[in-house]
Amino acid sequence: MLDTIGASTLEDLYAHLPEEVRFPGGLNIPSGKSEYEIVDYFRARGAENANQHANFLGAGVYHHYRPVLVDTVISRGEFLTSYTPYQAEISQGALTAIFEFQTMICQLTGMDVANASMYDGSTAVPEAAMMAMRITGRDGIAVARTVHPEYREVLGTYTRHLDSARQGVRVTEFEYDAESGQVDLASLELALDENTAAVIIQSPNFFGIVEETKQIAEMAHAKGALLVFVFTEAVSLGLLEPPGDADIVAGELQSFAIAPSYGGPFAGILACKERYVRQLPGRLVGETKDANGNRAFCLTLATREQHIRREKATSNICTNQALIALMATVFMTLYGKQGLRDLATQNLAKAHYLGDKLWRRFKGPYFNEFVAATGVQSAEEINRRLLGFKIIGGLPLDRFYPELKNSVLLCCTEMSRRADMDAVAEAFGA
């Protein structure tokens, strides 16, 4: 091959580079390892992490069972090692699966259109906010304090510098009701004005409480603002009323057979009403026909996207989370209409079993997470004690809500065992 090229050594291939850009040394990275050594290294690192612990953490990342078939499907090289399906004729597998994904997300959320995925729930939120600003021509965002704190931080990062011509975007947070844990409607009313592009709420919210979405939608719409509905616990949609009153839904599908993996890779979704589709960022698959008149699928409405529109695009997103969205697609297929409801009902029962034993901070309806007051003990003391039983306790909330001292966010799923829940109750002194 070198002869063909007319080079005598491999080094000749970059001899044309100026000397100052050539790296003369060798990289300070240990020499190549065998497969066995690599497996061994990661096994050792895994052993340094929590192992075989029962886990009562939720807060945006949930321990749900992953059906075996999910990895069977996504491990097929045809899905795993293919690129974004730009060449429709040899990508019908990926395109068909994405079309099914888009359909299922619409069925689940009550929206008309869903894109092919976003990086995760947290980045879907600012994309939804920007979308609402383009649609309404306004630049105020009102966000509930009960939206996941890290999602709100990401929203802050994205909006802080957005479009200097508009001199920044104004993000206003509104409060929760200390009794119910739901949105404080009076506080929301104060946050709304003629410049509000979007009202952003999460349900079940960060405290696990179900919001009165319909009422909030009416308040937002009365001011000409859009409602952005956020979810972090997708399993809840098996049982809870879909947010059909919202204009845009931004969510996280981690609960659908996506392992916690220390926080990623996950898959976000962005869905909306039909009339807003031209402002929806991200990839979309559409149905069409091939030259023989047979049904076929392809990427479509690309004029919204960066590779066509460059700086005028709806977003800079290119690579999304296709394979992870496929995991969720297989999960939704296996559980299906009845299974997702049964799964959600089990989650509800488990959480209420433990919730009923503890002193819950909020009285609003809850799904599979709730805030428990720790009483005279500190959250840290309780969690330390639980670790002795190989149980990881809930999330102490003062980390994100300084006013919520001695409060722990606990999550129960179908994987929570009764004995472990009893141990948690005991540690709380219940």
Q: Residue 63 Cβ, how far from other proteins at the closest point, in Å?
A: 7
| Region near other proteins per CB under 8 A, out of 11-19, 181-189, 193-201, 216-224 | 11-19
- Asked if 389 is part of the footprint of other proteins (rule: CB under 8 A), the reply reads no
Residues 170-209 within binding reach of other proteins (CB under 8 A): none
Report which of 106, 100, 134 is spatially closest to residue 304, judged by C-alpha positions.
Answer: 134
Listed in order, strand segments (DSSP E) in 126-221 are 140-144, 170-174, 196-202
**Binding of residue 50 to other proteins (CB under 8 A):** yes
Q: Which is nearer to other proteins, 219 or 425 (by Cβ)? A: 425
- Write down the least CB distance from residue 104 to other proteins, Å: 7
8, 18, 194, 403: which one binds other proteins (CB under 8 A):
18
Q: Report the C-alpha gap between 181 and 365 in whole angstroms.
A: 9
User: Among 114-122, 136-144, 170-178, 183-191, which window interacts with other proteins (CB under 8 A)?
Assistant: 114-122
With binding defined as CB under 8 A, does residue 8 bind other proteins?
A: no
| Binder of other proteins out of 8, 137, 194, 337 (CB under 8 A) | 337
Do residues 331 and 256 make contact, with C-beta atoms less than 8 angstroms apart? yes
End-to-end alpha carbon distance in the chain: 75
32 in contact with other proteins (CB under 8 A): yes
Which of 145, 150, 177, 195: binder of other proteins (CB under 8 A)? Answer: 150
Phi and psi, residue 327, nearest 5°? -55, -50
Shortest distance in whole angstroms from residue 371 CB to other proteins: 15
Q: What are 23's two structure tokens? A: 């790296």
Q: Which is nearer to other proteins, 224 or 286 (CB)?
A: 286
Q: Which residues from 224-283 bind other proteins, rule CB under 8 A? A: 237-242, 259-265, 267, 277, 283
SS (H, E, C) 172-193: EEECECCCCCCECHHHHHHHCC
- Integer angstrom CA distances of residue 144 from 225, 257, 270, 362: 14, 28, 19, 16
Instruction: Single out the segment in contact with other proteins by CB under 8 A; choices: 191-199, 217-225, 344-352, 369-377.
Output: 344-352
Q: Does 370 bind other proteins (CB under 8 A)?
A: no
**How far, rounded to the nearest angstrom, does the alpha carbon of residue 19 sit from its chain's CA centroid?**
46
- Going by C-alpha positions, the residue among 58, 220, 60 that lies closest to residue 125 is 60
Q: How far is the CB of 376 from other proteins (least distance, A)?
A: 22
Q: Which stretch binds other proteins (CB under 8 A): 7-15, 133-141, 170-178, 217-225?
A: 7-15
Cα distance between residue 234 and residue 365, in whole Å: 17
- Binding other proteins (rule: CB under 8 A), the pick from 172, 279, 353, 389 is 353
Q: Residue 413 interacts with other proteins (CB under 8 A)?
A: no
- Binding positions for other proteins, 393-412, rule CB under 8 A: 395
| Residue 211: C-alpha distances to residues 73, 142, 176, 197, 217 (Å) | 36, 16, 10, 20, 11
User: By CB under 8 A, which span of 117-125, 134-142, 190-198, 219-227 interacts with other proteins?
Assistant: 117-125
Q: Is 387 in the site for other proteins (CB under 8 A)?
A: yes
CA quadruple 78, 83, 88, 93: dihedral positive or negative? Answer: positive
Residue from 216, 421, 423, 427 binding other proteins (CB under 8 A): 421
334 binds other proteins (CB under 8 A): yes
Asked whether position 313 contacts other proteins by CB under 8 A, the answer is yes
Three-class secondary structure of residue 396 per DSSP = strand
* Full 3-state SS string of 298-309: EECCHHHCHHHH
